[in-house]
């Protein structure tokens, strides 16, 4: 059985993951509007992944006899200064999620809740991968710069990342 405090903390994480899914969906729409098909596809995939993260938490809470709550999710922004600013916001959001996961792990450890400690290990590894991916995208954007062809090059880079991720998923 899971404690009420741990259940409440995990339910807060559900809200954060749901918001990330909606944020990335909003970003995908903005990218579509800008003609950035590769970026849009990337953000659609990220949105789906965050939704799955939310559902994984939801199912876990039920498995350990807690009460998972359907989150009320705030409206994310729908306008962005630039694709670079958009990805900077994604990176900062992923850092926020990582920090939240670490706090959950601390709580689970302090409560000797080893089932939740074990469950959260997957999220810790996932967040390391997410931050690394976003940092790599931002690094490429810095290399590409912001000249006239930069959006085309950035969009192509994201399309390549999409292809690589789809190939990894197929394995």
Distance of CA 105 to the CA centre of its chain: 18
pLDDT digits (tens, 9 = 90+) for 90-132: 999 999 999 999 999 999 999 999 999 999 999 999 999 999 9
Q: Provide the token pair at 85.
A: 């600013």
Alpha helices in 35-149 (DSSP H): 37-63, 83-110, 114-144
Evaluate if residue 152 carries a pLDDT over 90.
no
Please count the CA atoms within 13 angstroms of the CA of 168 that sit on its side-chain side.
Answer: 6
Tens digit of each residue's pLDDT (9 = 90 or more) over 61-72: 999 999 999 989
> Which one, of 126, 59, 46, lies nearest residue 86 by Cα?
46
Domain ranges of the chain: 4-170
**pLDDT above 90 as % of the chain:** 81
Instruction: Decide which of 53 and 146 is more confident.
Output: 53
For domain 4-170, the CATH class is mainly alpha
Over residues 12-17, mean pLDDT: 97
Q: pTM value?
A: 0.91
Tokens 């339910």 appear where?
Answer: 11
pLDDT at 17: 97
């Amino acid at each position: 059985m899971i404690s009420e405090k741990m259940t409440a903390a995990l339910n807060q994480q559900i809200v954060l993951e749901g918001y990330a899914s909606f944020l990335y969906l909003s970003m995908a729409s903005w990218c579509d509007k800008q003609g950035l098909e590769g970026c849009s596809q990337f953000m659609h995939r990220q949105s789906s992944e965050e939704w799955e993260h939310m559902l994984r938490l939801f199912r876990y809470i039920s498995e350990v006899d807690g009460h998972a709550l359907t989150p009320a999710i705030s409206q994310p922004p729908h306008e962005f200064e630039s694709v670079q600013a958009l990805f900077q916001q994604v990176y900062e959001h992923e850092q926020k999620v990582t920090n939240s996961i670490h706090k959950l792990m601390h709580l689970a450890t302090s409560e000797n809740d080893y089932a939740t400690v074990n469950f959260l290990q997957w999220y810790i590894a996932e967040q390391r991968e997410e931050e690394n991916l976003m940092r790599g995208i931002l690094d490429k954007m810095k290399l590409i710069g912001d000249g006239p062809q930069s959006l085309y090059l950035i969009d192509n880079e994201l399309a390549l990342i999409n292809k690589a991720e789809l190939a990894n998923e197929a394995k």
